[in-house]
């Protein structure tokens, strides 16, 4: 009887060993590119990694806050280097927004560069420019484009060179 139990346990151990060890394909980390737009930063085009939106005012279905992120790494940079942009409006029915004249639009730009040990995060403010929104009020694909001149912000005060920033984004409105 003991031999039967030992034999059963031996067969079970061998069966578990061979059935639980299987070779699978090598893991390849997915690249986050959404085919949802582009930005032009410092004269170079960069694909967006992400483009999303939320409705900041739940009672207003025309309000939008777009979040976009692009990898703006230069050759030779080994650490992450991203550009994050938030565009917010209280109503997409306006379609064209001049940043200097319209109270219905705001834009925030943040550069996160782990390759720069002196200043990891830089904030920029638009000093002139426009945003165009092709709204999908009833749902579907919604697009926006922007053409801005931004300036680095120190404690809320624009300073330094004025830099061009342009791009486009696409989101799915449901």
- Asked if residue 137 belongs to a domain, the reply is yes
Exposed/middle/buried for residue 79 (C-beta within 10 Å: 0-12, 13-18, 19+): exposed
Residues 172 and 34: their CA atoms lie apart, in Å, by 12
- Asked if residue 84 belongs to a domain, the reply is yes
What is the three-class DSSP state of 16? helix
- Asked if residue 7 belongs to a domain, the reply is no
Residue 29 confidence (pLDDT)? 53
- Asked if residue 16 belongs to a domain, the reply is no
pLDDT one-digit tens code per residue, 127-162: 999 999 999 988 999 999 999 999 999 988 999 999
Residues 122 and 47: their CA atoms lie apart, in Å, by 20
Exposed/middle/buried for residue 67 (C-beta within 10 Å: 0-12, 13-18, 19+): middle
- Asked if residue 24 belongs to a domain, the reply is no
- Asked if residue 2 belongs to a domain, the reply is no
| The pLDDT of residue 49 is above 80 | yes
Q: Could you tell me the pTM of the whole model?
A: 0.80
Domain span at 97 = 32-173
Q: Look at the chain and report how many structural domains it folds into.
A: 1
Where b means 16+ CB within 10 Å and e means fewer, 128-156 reads: ebbbebebbeeeeebbbebbbebbbbeee
Say if residues 88 and 62 touch (Cβ distance below 8 Å). no
Percent pLDDT > 70 in the chain is 82
- Asked if residue 8 belongs to a domain, the reply is no
Model confidence at 126, pLDDT cuts 50, 70, 90, reads very high
Residue 174 confidence (pLDDT)? 86
Nearest partner of 83 among 37, 130, 117, 127, judged by Cα: 37
- Asked if residue 86 belongs to a domain, the reply is yes
């Amino acid at each position: 009887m003991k031999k039967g139990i030992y034999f059963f346990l031996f067969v079970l151990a061998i069966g578990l060993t061979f059935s639980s060890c299987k070779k699978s394909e090598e893991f390849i980390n997915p690249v986050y590119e959404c085919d949802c737009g582009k930005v032009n930063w410092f004269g170079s085009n960069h694909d967006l990694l992400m483009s999303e939106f939320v409705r900041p005012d739940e009672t207003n279905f025309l309000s939008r806050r777009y979040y976009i992120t692009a990898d703006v790494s230069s050759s030779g940079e080994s650490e992450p280097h991203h550009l994050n942009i938030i565009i917010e409006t209280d109503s997409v029915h306006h379609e064209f927004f001049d940043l200097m004249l319209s109270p219905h639009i705001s834009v925030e730009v943040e550069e996160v560069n782990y390759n720069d040990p002196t200043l990891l995060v830089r904030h920029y403010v638009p000093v002139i420019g426009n945003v165009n929104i092709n709204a999908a009020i009833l749902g579907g694909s919604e697009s926006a484009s922007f053409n801005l001149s931004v300036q680095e912000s120190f404690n809320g005060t624009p300073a330094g060179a004025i830099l061009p920033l342009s791009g486009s984004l696409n989101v799915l409105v449901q």
